[in-house]
A and B are shown apart, each in its own frame.
Chain A
């Protein structure tokens, strides 16, 4: 017995000794240092993919790792919804105070919203692109010159895209085109940023493809010629260079690479992102670990059972507003987009069952109609981000061209494009031909077509008309910058060149 115990003891000691012996000599395989990171083609591919991943995270909102401990968990998708929140079209049926504060432009006083004003992840995206643009040119191993040029163009496109998106959110933003920058950067005027975006797109364009490898969803969630041209057109609209914008979109149209799909194919477009109408979308792939730990995808705020396990509605459009936005539907139910974008569900059924969907999309009355443009299937859990989020699509640029043409006095061209969208929706063609009326009609059509696609607020901010639709913002306030996010406190740390937006110096 004693011998057995001793033998056992020795055995344990022996095992312990041997198992400890070697590991310190191993090279750590999961720590990548700068000199190892940029060696071959695989590294280059990974680095560009990583930049896109950071950008997806930036747009979906900050996660716990990105925010101070005082903030709540998870990602909200707020940067997306910022493009709609203040348009005056939305309500929060469950009276969510944070969304309410967003609608009313109270952004600083709510400490939970303050971190949202942080542009850190946008500049992390930009920094990753800067590194790519600096390092990839030297890589030759397992990387053809052609692919190298594509990757560089892709990174250049994304860098421009991140600056563009940040400029729409914050107005004047720093421009960072240098890797490992340690200089305290000040904010550049919005027009200068947009001009830089256009210049960068022009450099990237020749080396971008019309379609990358893979499915539409994979291909068009990266830089393509179409995405770059759409970005350029949008930036030029901010610069009021309507001719340039119109020309850029003409190239997209002439490529014949995109189509306006019929309304009955909207599910492919909005649920799956597999549609010829997509130009650029953010595609969150749960199999790659892109999920939110608690708060979920922006779209889960729109949806409830039967699409997600959310019990109530957090973001919605009121019935009276729907009837106001879609007058043709109010008149004779002709606008085919309404049943595609809105649904009423039977709330008298328990949320542990699949709730039936009513035939009449507006049956649930003023405050309980679900915004169902994007639908997930039930087996997708509440928090998993697995749906494409559109950034640019064909209908968007067609209408943008209509606006540009109308402003250039080319009314027939404008009407032609406007009516493409109207006839697809099944509403009467627009026939009045004085330019100001057509411009108004195009803006109203963009509101109808792109509702919930994070365009409306930016359209209004671009035109200085946010105050007309949002009673919490005054005309003078908008001139002073109320249409933009305030700059986060963090951006002021060790940066004497940083300045707060004028409006936000006086308004909390």
Chain B
């Protein structure tokens, strides 16, 4: 009899364990992991949709005729937010009154500079996701031809090693060609957004200024 009870208990236990493992786990909001972060639209369409964060960025991309590069299949785009661009213009025109009233009215040198800068936020032909990165640097070349690198950092409030939030750092070589490489870093605050053509990472806006100034 005791043997029988043990057997039943064992089978019941097995049933619970297997049933417990069966279901899909959900991340925040109840979206299954493999669906989470899927934008369902192209990178440009996503940026256009998020007007509160990216409307200036979208206008700059259009101004520089880089829509197709941003939307190219299988690329990675690092999206600077409008606040970063606002700070860029603040540096460019410390006297705000002297700033042209529309983006189209910007002098050609500034427009060229903006296009050059934008190209460094596009990593062509490579889909970079957090899962594929490590704490060691992985180097890439941007659409603008500049060397850049990614790495993962683990940061928790108390400074414990390998604990806490895991985020991506995107660093760009800001020194002129031929000199010692000097990297400036921007943290990725929203990672691994999957558009229909590639990957989008959103950059921190508080400390990062458009163009790595």
Contact = CB atoms under 8 A, between A and B. Distances in A.
Contacts of A368: 207
Interface string A349-389: 11111000010100111111000000000000000000000
Contacts of A364: 184
Interface string A264-276: 0000000000000
A95 interface: yes
Given A350-B153, A351-B153, A352-B163, A367 B207 contact: yes
Interface residues of B, number: 32
Contacts of A347: 169, 185, 187
Contacts of A365: 184, 209, 212-213
A94 B163 CA distance: 22
Interface stretch (A1-9, A192-200, A304-312, A447-455): A304-312
Given A346-B185, A352-B163, A309 B206 contact: no
A93 B154 contact: no
Nearest to B183: A348
A313 B208 CA distance: 13
B161 interface: yes
Given A311-B155, A350-B153, A352-B159, A367 B209 contact: yes
Most A C-beta atoms less than 10 A away, residue of B156, B184, B187? B184
A437 interface: no
Chain A contact-residue range equals 20 to 34
Given A348-B169, A350-B135, A363-B182, A320 B206 contact: no
Nearest to B206: A95
Most A C-beta atoms less than 10 A away, residue of B137, B184, B207? B207
Contacts, number: 66
A320 B161 CA distance: 35
Contacts of B212: 365
B160 interface: yes
Contacts of B169: 347-348
Contact of A366 (B149, B162, B182, B209): B209
Contacts of A319: 213
B19 interface: no
Contact of A320 (B91, B149, B160): B91
Nearest to B209: A366
A348 B187 CA distance: 8
Nearest to B83: A95
Interface in B194-213: 206-209, 212-213
Where chain A touches its partner, the secondary structure class is: loop
Contacts of A360: 182
A362 B60 CA distance: 28
Nearest to B205: A95
Interface in A49-103: 93-95
A316 to B, nearest CB: 9
B161 A352 contact: yes
Where chain B touches its partner, the secondary structure class is: loop
B21 to A, nearest CB: 33
A132 B156 CA distance: 48
B48 interface: no
B211 to A, nearest CB: 9
Given A320-B94, A365-B184, A366-B209, A352 B154 contact: yes
Contacts of B87: 366-367
Contacts of B154: 350, 352
B151 interface: yes
B159 A305 contact: yes
B171 interface: yes
B91 A352 contact: no
Contacts of A350: 135, 153-155
A35 B157 CA distance: 49
B158 interface: yes
A349 to B, nearest CB: 7
A91 to B, nearest CB: 10
Contacts of A346: 183, 185
Nearest to B88: A366
B119 to A, nearest CB: 19
Interface string B108-132: 0000000000000000000000000
Interface in A299-343: 305, 309, 311-313, 319-320
A320 B93 CA distance: 12
Given A312-B207, A348-B169, A363 B159 contact: no
Contacts of B163: 352
Contacts of B164: 352
Given A363-B184, A366-B87, A366-B91, A351 B159 contact: yes
Nearest to A351: B155
Contacts of A312: 207
Contacts of B159: 305, 309, 351-352
Contacts of A93: 206-207
Contacts of A348: 137, 149, 151, 153, 169, 171, 183, 185
Nearest to A92: B206
A319 B87 CA distance: 12
B28 to A, nearest CB: 23
Interface string B125-152: 0000000000101000000000001010
A363 B182 CA distance: 8
A94 B209 CA distance: 13
23 contacts: A93-B206, A93-B207, A94-B207, A95-B206, A305-B159, A309-B159, A319-B213, A320-B94, A347-B169, A348-B149, A348-B153, A348-B171, A349-B153, A350-B135, A351-B155, A352-B154, A352-B159, A352-B164, A353-B161, A363-B184, A364-B184, A365-B213, A367-B209
Given A350-B153, A352-B162, A358-B182, 18 more contacts: A95-B206, A309-B159, A312-B207, A320-B91, A346-B183, A347-B169, A347-B187, A348-B149, A348-B153, A348-B185, A350-B135, A350-B155, A352-B161, A365-B184, A365-B213, A366-B91, A367-B209, A368-B207
7 tightest Cβ-Cβ pairs between the two chains A and B: A350-B153, A348-B185, A348-B169, A347-B185, A309-B159, A368-B207, A367-B207
